[in-house]
Structures are given as structure tokens and as C-alpha cells.
Structure 1
Amino acid sequence: AFTSPCARILVAMCVGTCSRIVGPCLLVLGTLSMAASILLLFPGGASKYLVEGHISKHAKAVPGIWGGGIIVLLAAIHITAVGWRCAGCSDCGTRHNAFISAVLSKLALLGAAACFIFSGVGLTNGPLCFYNASEHSHRHGTVWGYPFLDTDKNYLYDPRTWSTCLEPEGIVAWNVVLFSLLLLISAAEMVLASFQILNGCLGCLCGFCDGKKSPP
């Protein structure tokens, strides 16, 4: 525990400052996560594939919306609001708010982790596309499926194989870019959420403010 008043004040000031940095960062990342997940549903900007059901299952799961998006944004809004309202060191920097911040950050960590896992699997499996099945299996003709799912080589390291997908046009690059973006975003969210959990725990001990009160 922090026995020195000066130590409490210094830690509280740091906790409040960090909250004012972490909150907006999570707001930006959560918004980008939702945008990337929505774009995955519209390959090349076309809506017909979503209407026809020709979207990969991991893209349809929209992990960037519920995992890296909404859950993270809920935590980010609370962290940002408390952090900036306490910039003047009003009485909103309570240990109760610090506890709520830590709990919401844990939920954000879980949501970001789920988004990371879904995005990783989606990137590994490759997109759902229209391709010539006779070149990849015992089936004949062109079908909708996952041509890179059961191959020995990793398609990510061989862009020459991306032309296997005939439709939607450019779907492989579309999925690779957006799922990779979701991986990076969710990884950053996990780091920030973990940091805010520690920050919130310190806030439970010292509060968010430096002990001063705003003038009435």
C-alpha cells in the first residue's frame, strides 16, 4: 500500500493522466476495428456477395464489431470520460470509478482477444470464393468454397496462388489486408486494456486525482 501522501498523490496523478491517453486510443482502435469488420462483409465494396451468402464464416461472425469494437468502445468511453472529467481533479476520480474502469478493461481484453483469435483463424483458412475445384480436389467444375483450407502450402507466402479465386475479384488480398488489420488492432487493444487494468487497480488504491478539489 502507499503510505506516503506524496506517493499517493504522484501515483494518482499518473493514473489520471494515463487514463486520458488510453481512453482515446481505445476509442480510435475500436472504431477502426468495426470499420474493418464491416468492410469484410462487402468484398470490393459490393453487397451482392453478402446477400447471396457468399461471405466466409469468420467474416460473417464480425468479431471486429462485437469483440474489438462494441466491448472495447464501452470501456474506452468510460475511461475517457472519467479521465478528462478528472483533469480538473474534481470528485469524480473515485475508487469506485477506478474499479468500474478495471472491470470494463477486463471485458475489453476478452473482447479483443476473441477478435484476435477469430481474425487469425479467418486469415489462416483463407476466403470463401468461387474457384475451379478440379485443380484442388476430386470435385469437378467451379464451386464456392475455401480453396486454401486443405492445401499443404501456406497461401499467405505465395501470392501467385491468389488467382485461384475467380470471384469476388481480389477477394484474397481484401481478406488478407483486413484480417491482418484486425489482428494488429486487437493486439494493440489487448496491450492497452491490460495496461488499463493495472491502471485501474492503482486507481482503486489512490483514486484518479491528486487530492485537490476544483473551485466551487
Structure 2
Amino acid sequence: MDHSLIFLSPLPPRRAAMCVGKCTRILGPCLLTLGVLSIAANVLLLFPGWAWKYLADGHITKEAKAMPGVWGGGIIVLLAATHITAVGWRYSGNIFGSGPCLHYRVFPSQVFLSIVLSMLALLGSAASFIMSGVGLTNGPFCLYNTSSNELDYGPRWGYPFVDPNSQTFDSSLWSTCLEPVGIVTWNVCFFSMLLLISACEMVLTSLQIINGCFGSLCGFCDGK
């Protein structure tokens, strides 16, 4: 027996593959959770104060009606996360994480698809992040009293915080909105949640893209 073969053991690649496979099985469920939370936060933005009438009347902030948290940080991320989770557990042997190890080269298309979906999820979460930031900065669409020097003086629907002299984050001005009640707090809360969720999604999808590239080199096999 040639003892020099001992030094050619594939231990480092198998260790790398173990890391890649485990990383995939962690990132997938995390993205699934974030995708569901993103959809929930955006849907709640459509029903300020738990009321339906504002959505029916069209009195909803335009960034909320665009639903970036549903299609961007939600559905696209969930599609990627579902595939990532399935691939991660499949390459561990089976859904219970036991059994013979399957080498990644048997299914190269799934590794490539995982990277592509992760890229789309990254774009979707980035869109959600940007639109949520705009919605948070511009403030909510609400009924407010206009100033006396305006032609249509009196209560009207609009965006009072778009005015450079009005700041959404100045809580002393939040009473400017007469209806829906508490709309500024509602929008600040859920748009901030969408910002945080989409930021986390961008980080995790970026990690998965890197992880997928390593997976195409080392495989997802855990060396079992």
C-alpha cells in the first residue's frame, strides 16, 4: 500500500462541503421566516388601525399599496428559501439528515438554480428596502388640515410630511393626521419592520450566493 496516498485524503474538501451544506440548511429556514414576516408587515400596512374602509376607499400610502414586502421581500424570497431549504436537506442524505450522502455533481442544475433564485431574492429584498425607506421618509397618506394660505383650505387627503418643514420622525407633529387614527405610528412601526426584515434578507441572500458558489466547487456532501 502506498502510504503517500494518505496525504491525498479529501478531508479538507469534505469539511468545506460539510460547512456549505449546514450553512444552506440554516439560511433556508431563516429566509422562510423572514419572507412570511415581510408579507405580514406589508399586509398590515394596508389596514391601518385594523380598519378595512381606508383600503376600500383608496386612502392608503402608495408605498404600502405597491406591496414591496409581499412580492419583493415576500414571495420571491419564499421561492428562493423553499428551494434552498430543499436542496440543503436533500444533500444531507434525506429530510431527516441521515442516509447515504449524495454528491452535488449529480444535480448541478439545482446548485445553479439556487444561486439564481438567491440573486432574484436579493433584488426583491433590495426593492422592498428602498420602497420601505421611501414610505417611511415621505410619511403616510392621511386626512389633515391644510394651512390657511392654501386655496383649498380645510381637511384633505394627502401627504403632509412630504413638506420639507414637516418631519415624519418628529412625534410632536404626528397629530397633524386626523384620520386614520394613529396612522403615523402605524406606518413608522411597520415600515421600520420592513426595512429591518429586508436588510436581513439582503445579508442572508448574499451569503447564500457565496455559499452556492462554494457549493459548486466543494459540493453539499456532509461526508457521511
TM-score (norm 1): 0.91
Q: Deviations over 1:1-31 (max 9, x none)?
A: xx97222111111000000100000000000
Structure 1: gaps spanning 5 or more residues: none
Residues in 2 aligned to 1:100 and 1:7: alpha-carbon distance in whole angstroms = 26
Kept after mapping to 1: 8 A contact 2:133/2:195? yes
1:197, distance to aligned residue in structure 2 (A)? 0.2
1:208 and 2:213 are equivalent in the alignment: no
Q: Deviations over 1:157-190 (max 9, x none)?
A: x101000000000000000000000000000000
Kept after mapping to 2: 8 A contact 1:82/1:92? no
Kept after mapping to 2: 8 A contact 1:99/1:203? no
Kept after mapping to 2: 8 A contact 1:95/1:207? no
- Quickly say closer, same or farther: Cα 1:91–1:208, change in 2 above 3 A: same
1:116 maps to: 129
Secondary structure class of the residue paired with 1:53: coil
Residues in 2 aligned to 1:191 and 1:136: alpha-carbon distance in whole angstroms = 48
Kept after mapping to 2: 8 A contact 1:63/1:114? yes
1:100, distance to aligned residue in structure 2 (A)? 1.3
Pairs within 5 Å for 1:35-184: 35-88=40-93, 90-91=101-102, 93=104, 94-134=107-147, 137=150, 139-156=152-169, 158-184=170-196
Kept after mapping to 2: 8 A contact 1:98/1:208? no
- Of the three residues 184, 199, 202, the one matched with 1:187 is 199
1:208, distance to aligned residue in structure 2 (A)? 0.8
Aligned partner letter, 1:76: A
Q: Which structure has the bigger radius of gyration?
A: 2
Which deviates more, 202-211 or 142-151?
202-211
1:21 and 2:26 are equivalent in the alignment: yes
Residues in 1 aligned to 2:146 and 2:103: alpha-carbon distance in whole angstroms = 62
Q: Deviations over 1:81-127 (max 9, x none)?
A: 11122223542744332221111110110000000000000000000
Q: Deviations over 1:119-138 (max 9, x none)?
A: 00000000000000126855
Which deviates more, 40-49 or 127-136?
127-136
Kept after mapping to 2: 8 A contact 1:119/1:183? yes
- Quickly say closer, same or farther: Cα 1:50–1:136, change in 2 above 3 A: farther
Q: Deviations over 1:33-83 (max 9, x none)?
A: 000000000001101000000001101000000000000000000011111
Structure 2: gaps spanning 5 or more residues: 1-7, 94-99
Secondary structure class of the residue paired with 2:178: strand
Secondary structure class of the residue paired with 1:166: strand
Task: Calculate percent identity across the aligned residue pairs.
Answer: 65
TM-score (norm 2): 0.88
1:153, distance to aligned residue in structure 2 (A)? 4.4
Aligned residue pair count:
209
Secondary structure class of the residue paired with 1:134: coil
Residues in 1 aligned to 2:37 and 2:120: alpha-carbon distance in whole angstroms = 18
Residues in 2 aligned to 1:136 and 1:25: alpha-carbon distance in whole angstroms = 52
